[in-house]
Amino acid sequence: MELEATTIDIGTTRPLVLLNTADADELGVHPLDRVRIWWNGETTTGIVKRTDELVDAGTVGVTEPLHYVSGPVEVKHAGTPRSVRYVRKKLDDLELEAHELECIVEDIHENRLSDVELSAYVSAIYTNGLSLEETKHLTEAMSGVGQQLTWDAPVVADKHSIGGVAGNCVTPVMVAIVTEAGLTMPKTSSRAVTSPAGTADVMEVLCDVEFSIEEIQSIVAETNGCLVWGGGVDLSPVDDEIIRAENPLSIDPDGQLMASVLSKKRSAGSTHVVIDVPYGEGAKVESIVAARELSDDFKRVGDHLGMDVTCAITHGADPIGHGIGPALEARDVLEVLEGSGPESLRLKSLRLSELLLEHCGVDASATEILDSGRALERFRRIVDAQGGDPTIQSTDVEPGDESVTIRADRGGIASRVDSRQISDLARRAGAPLDRGAGVVIHQSAGDAVDPGDRLFTIRAETTSKLEEAAELADELEPIRVRSKADALIERR
């Protein structure tokens, strides 16, 4: 069928084509069927949406991923991608072969799967899991798609946390320590998806984080490291599509998690990686037994990929640091580098840095590098190389002007600081898009609390968002205050 292609914006990243119902009936296509489109000697595939109003008969509407298609085109019914058969196979709880996983990854990368089919894949992995062999093959396939970073250094250090702990911004401190010790550590990090701040959001308070591969290589040549947004360099891009499908249901199955983390590390050229696996109430991994099992599997998949992977099993029931949100976490990072700051952030940064240095075979003291001020100077060099102010101090970082402090209405013990609720409050206040928004925590688990003591302060950039966050705070209990007797029972 010959039609006229016209661009249309319906806010999707999928390669959808809108066909008038009359044309769709003539072609014999139903919603989510595929059509092949020929124009100017080239061809592409689109996923069908039928409409009576958005496009006229004789016209095919192409969404943003297909905006390069225009003018007269020929449209024909196309078959279902082969990978859909393999998604059904996994839904039946059958193990997938390496070539089947490669096919799924390729079709996700080429946008051949509809949102429904991609969701079915994620649901199949969540429900039936991945074997260790499947995880190895999936990771290898994902890391083979997209751009690759390469380095001359024989040892390239890296670190990743599986997440779930508010304020866990140890990465900037670690990069400063490890690069000052002489190692190469080109850290590509994510922006927040469901959390109040990713490492890239925190660093963007202080400097630029979006660079080309050539610019990243120049920064690393100058400073030994970088702290940049990984999404700007197309590393393991299939992972980003899968995460987009996982987020609405807040699921992150272990096999896919390992493939996600290690495919990006391999694409970034990392050779030695420390994985932070927090466990505890509210964390992604709730028991130490499960944390150990996950850690062992991370190491096995790393071995398969030729990466030296070790894991740190850390306490993840409580937030790390005082501030939750981009500016507040950036302030905590600078305070630690300056020699003060939250003790929880300082200690975890040192522990993971010592582990990474030892893992890479470097005989250096993370504590000495931090306490001497050398890490701060190295961090400032990285900030400078990334277009920031090299003289930046913690006191220069200002959170949002709007604030409200929640105080204890009774005395006792702070028996629990809930990472998830704290994160929900920070996001309601505007984080991470509003960099100054977030939550400042005034009490830690185990602290004695008197009536009227500050529990936490919400910071926002607008009055309306502050009011929304304050209303949510009334419904939640981010910091539990219990009598001493009740607190002892609760913590057992």
Q: What is the pLDDT of residues 102-127, one digit of tens each?
A: 999 999 998 889 889 999 999 999 99
Bridge partners of 227, per DSSP, are 187
Q: How far apart are CA 343 and CA 322, in angstroms?
A: 9
Calpha distance 475→457 (Å, rounded): 16
CATH of the domain at 304: 3.40.1030.10
Residue 40: CATH number of its domain = 2.40.40.20
Q: Is residue 17 within 8 Å of 70, Cβ to Cβ? A: no
Q: Cα angle at 395 between 394 and 398, to 5 degrees?
A: 95
pTM over 0.95: no
- Looking at this protein, which amino acid is placed at residue 217? Q
Q: Which of 315, 283, 327 is nearest to 426 (CA)?
A: 327
- Domain span at 436: 402-491
Q: Which of 394, 415, 441 is the last residue of a domain?
A: 394
Q: Where does residue 226 rank: exposed (0-12), middle (13-18), buried (19+ CB within 10 A)?
A: buried
The reply to whether 363 and 446 lie within a common domain is no
118 Cβ contact list (under 8 Å, min separation 6): 108, 241, 242, 245
In one letter, which amino acid is 432?
P
Is residue 6 assigned to a domain?
yes
Coil vs helix vs strand at 150: coil
Task: Give residue 181's Cα distance to chain centre.
Answer: 27
Identify whether residues 287 and 421 lie together within a single domain: no
Residues 332 and 353: their CA atoms lie apart, in Å, by 17
Phi and psi, residue 241, nearest 5°: -70, -40
Local structure of 1: helix, strand or coil: coil
For residue 95, count other CB atoms closer than 10 A to its CB: 12
Omega before residue 432 within 30° of 0, cis:
yes
**Residue 57 in tokens:** 């008969």
Asked whether residue 100 is domain-assigned, the answer is yes
Count of structural domains within the chain: 4
CATH number of the CATH domain containing 418: 3.90.1170.30
Indicate whether 169 and 233 sit together in one domain.
yes
Q: Mark the ranges of the chain whose per-residue pLDDT is less than 70.
A: 484-492
Does the residue 139 lie in any domain? no
Residues 6+ apart with CB under 8 A from 416: 281, 317, 318, 445, 479, 480, 490
Same domain, 275 and 341: yes
Residues 378 and 448 in one domain: no
> Are 390 and 319 members of one domain?
yes
Q: Could you give the CA distance from residue 78 to residue 33 in angstroms, rounded to a whole number?
A: 8
> Shortest CA distance to 224 belongs to which of 360, 326, 394, 396?
360
CA atoms of 42 and 19, how far apart (whole Å): 20
**Residue 62 to residue 59: CA distance in whole angstroms:** 10
Do 329 and 421 lie in one domain? The reply is no
Domain check: are 96 and 58 in the same one? no
Give how far Cα 474 sits from Cα of 219, 421, 467, 471, Å: 46, 12, 11, 5
Q: Which of 361, 394, 427 is the last residue of a domain?
A: 394
Query: Same domain for 161 and 300?
Result: yes
Q: Which of 252, 297, 318, 424 is catalytic?
A: 252
- Tell me, yes or no, whether 342 and 374 share the same domain: yes
Structure token digits, residue 161: 């946390």
- Phi (first) and psi of residue 131, to 5 degrees: -70, 165
Question: Same domain, yes or no, for 170 and 246?
Answer: yes
Using alpha carbons only, what angle is made at residue 400 by residues 397 and 403, rounded to the nearest 5 degrees?
125
Q: Supply the pLDDT for residue 437.
A: 98
CA 146/CA 142 separation, integer angstroms = 8
Q: What is the DSSP letter of 357?
A: H
Active site residue 363: no
The verdict on 57 and 24 lying in the same domain is: yes
**DSSP category for residue 236:** S
What is the reported pLDDT for 489? 52
Contacts of 92 (CB under 8 A, 6+ apart): none
Quote the pLDDT of residue 484: 66
